[in-house]
Amino acid sequence: MNDSEDHKILELISIDKSFDKGFEMLVVQYQERLYWHIRRIVHFHEDADDVVQNTFIKVFKHIKSFKSQSKLYTWLYRIASNEAITFLNKRNKTLHQNFDNKNLDLEQKLKSDPYFDADEAQLKLLMAIELLPEKQKLVFNMRYYDEMPYEDISAILEVSKGALKASFHHAMKKVELYLKQNIDYV
Amino acid sequence: MSNTVPDKYFENLSSNILDNIEHLEDEIQINAPTLNKVSKKEIYLTPESYFQSLRNSILKKTNKTRVIRMGIIRAAAAACIILLFYFSSSELFYGSEKNIAFAESEILDFYLENLDEIELNDLTDLSTIEQLNTTGLFEDFNADELESYLSDNIDDLAIENIIENNI
């Protein structure tokens, strides 16, 4: 997350003539990071593809109203997180499955997905994360996979650093317990 | 947008980043040894050259959004112009008709109420003008045609007298 690069992007976007160039730079700069962040929430490539495109359309529509009080990348992550959670909520409403069935179904689907390649422990870790409440899941993913500082997660989720530290600690404990109960090789 | 950073920010940046990562690793090692053994290798895959096509798809969609937005703005502008024209023209046309109708009725009322006060000379002037206009009707008639017309229409008057007194 290069601040000077963000500054350049925002400067180009602020001028009508260079808006397209600035927006293209933004897409190039952030598409992969946002895609992986979304993919960890929705799991499947096709869904992540839809959500990331919708995220950038939202960004395109609202980028001119972006206030530089926050970092560009935390603002982008917030939009991406909201889009991904909205997508999941909509999907869950149409599926009407109970929690256990939903996770069993997810595990089966992931195993047969050509764009999924995890060993047994990684799959169990994913299922453990899936059991966490929505916000704790986000905190865990951003801290564990993206190794994001609490300060940035705090800006994205609009939660205090103290609350985030506690949330990550609880999430880690729950994941550890699940792994201990479900993985044989340790 | 500010370009300033806190004092000694860049001097401390690398150590802050390392502290942060080390702290995360320490935290996991101490609190979650099982989790610590799980590989962090990426488990999700994407189709080949996906990110190149993603960029194109996003830019294509945003261009489409822009075209739709411009279309909506243009349609709204056109609707505003049409509404503006409709209201201003109807005001103009209905307003002027109303004014004319009002003016005619006002004149009529004025004459009816003030007939006595209108000078007789004015009415005489009006009749004179009408007379002058109608006499012009006979200018294209020659004597024979006029004689034939009068004999057909006014039997009881001597043709000679009429010619003498009126023409």
Candidates A68, A115, A179; nearest CB to B45 = A115
Tokens of A99: 């929690």
Q: Quick one: A86 and A121 in the same domain?
A: no
pLDDT for residue B127 is more than 60: no
How many Å lie between the alpha carbon of B104 and the closest alpha carbon of chain A? 58
Residue ranges of A 1-60 with Cβ closer than 8 A to chain B: 7, 10-11, 23-24, 27-28, 31-32, 35-36, 39-40, 43, 45, 49, 52-53, 56-57, 60
Which residues, in sequence order, are CB contacts of A57 under 8 Å at separation 6+? B58, B61, B62, B65
Residues of B in contact with A62 (CB under 8 A): none
pLDDT at B64: 79
Answer positive or negative: Cα dihedral of A22, A24, A28, A30. Answer: positive
Residue A81 and residue A118 in one domain: no
- One domain, residues A39 and A113: no
Cβ distance A116 to B41 less than 8 Å, yes or no, reads no
Q: What is the CATH number of the domain that holds A154?
A: 1.10.10.10
> pLDDT value at position A170?
94
Candidates B32, B34, B38; nearest CB to A122: B38
Residues A60 and A125 in one domain: no
Supply the pLDDT for residue B16: 65
Give A98 to chain B, closest Cα distance, Å.
25
Shared domain for A67 and A42, answered yes or no, is: yes
**Would you kindly state where each structural domain of chain B is located, as residue ranges?**
49-117, 119-167
Q: What is the DSSP string of A52-115?
A: HHHHHHHHHHHGGG--TTS-HHHHHHHHHHHHHHHHHHHHHHHH---HHHHHHHHHHHHHT-TT
Q: Tell me the pLDDT band of B132, cut-offs 50, 70 and 90.
A: very low
Residues A85, A119: one domain? Answer: no
Test A24 with B32 for CB contact under 8 angstroms.
no
Q: Is B55 on the interface with A (CB under 8 A)?
A: yes
Q: Which residue, A68, A96, A124, sits at the end of a domain?
A: A96
pLDDT at A110: 94
pLDDT of residue A4: 84
CA distances from A63 to A20, A32, A79, B111 (A): 12, 19, 11, 72
H/E segment holding residue A15: none
Q: What is the SS3 string spanning B92-159? A: HHHHHHHHHHHHHHHHHHHHHHHHHHCCHHHHHHHHHHHHHHHHHHHCCCCHHHHHHHHHHHCCCCCH
CATH code of the domain in which A22 resides = 1.10.1740.10
Q: Between the CA of residue A151 and those of B98, B149, B155, what are the distances in Å?
A: 72, 114, 120
The whole-number pLDDT of residue B86 equals 72
Q: Does B28 touch chain A (CB under 8 A)?
A: yes
**Rounded Cα distance, A55 and A34, in Å:** 9
Cβ of B65 within 8 Å of Cβ of A60? The answer is: yes
Statement to judge: residues A128 and A140 lie in one domain: yes
**Which of these, A133, A139, A144, A134, lies nearest to A157 by C-alpha position?**
A139
Residue of B22 and B89 predicted with greater confidence? B89
Contact call for B58 and A169, based on CB within 8 A: no
> Cβ of A43 and B44 within 8 Å?
yes
Task: Yes or no: say if A26 and A9 are a contact pair by the CB < 8 Å rule.
Answer: yes
Q: Using the beta-carbon criterion (under 8 Å), do A143 and B40 form an inter-chain contact? A: no
Task: Let me know whether A154 and A123 are in one domain.
Answer: yes
**Domain boundary residue among A71, A96, A121?**
A96
Place of tokens 């004015």: B122
- Of A51, A74, A96, the residue that ends a domain is A96
Q: What average pLDDT is seen over chain B?
A: 69
In total, how many domains does chain A have? 2
- Is the ipTM beyond the 0.85 threshold? yes
Q: Which residue, among B3, B29, B35, would best test binding to A if mutated, counting the most A CBs under 10 Å from its CB?
A: B35
Q: For residue range B86-101, what is the model confidence (pLDDT) as tens digits?
A: 767 665 555 555 555 5
Q: Which domain holds residue A84?
A: 1-96
Residue of chain B minimizing CA distance to A49: B54
The pLDDT of residue B135:
46
Q: Does A147 touch chain B (CB under 8 A)?
A: yes
* Tens place of pLDDT per residue across chain A (186 aa): 567 889 999 999 999 999 999 999 999 999 999 999 999 999 999 999 999 999 999 999 999 888 877 889 999 999 999 999 999 999 887 766 666 667 778 899 999 999 999 999 999 999 999 999 999 999 999 999 999 999 999 999 999 999 999 999 999 999 999 999 998 765
Same domain, A43 and A110: no
Contact state of B55 with A176 under an 8 Å Cβ cutoff = no
Q: Do both A34 and A69 map to the same domain? A: yes
Query: Which of A108-112, A138-142, B47-51, B64-68 is the least confident region?
Result: B64-68
Q: Do A115 and A45 form a contact (C-beta atoms < 8 A)?
A: yes
- Of residues A6 and B103, more confidently modeled: A6
Are residues A67 and A122 located together in one domain of the fold? no
Residues A147 and A92 in one domain: no
Distance between CA A91 and CA A50 in Å, rounded? 13
* Tokens matching residue B37: 């053994």
Six-digit token pair at A30?
Answer: 């952030």
Task: Tell me how far apart the alpha carbons of residues B118 and B122 are, in angstroms, rounded to a whole number.
Answer: 7
What pLDDT does residue B10 have?
74
Q: Is the pLDDT of residue B126 over 70?
A: no
Nearest residue to A35 (alpha-carbon basis) of A50, A20, A57, A21: A50
Amino acid at A153: I
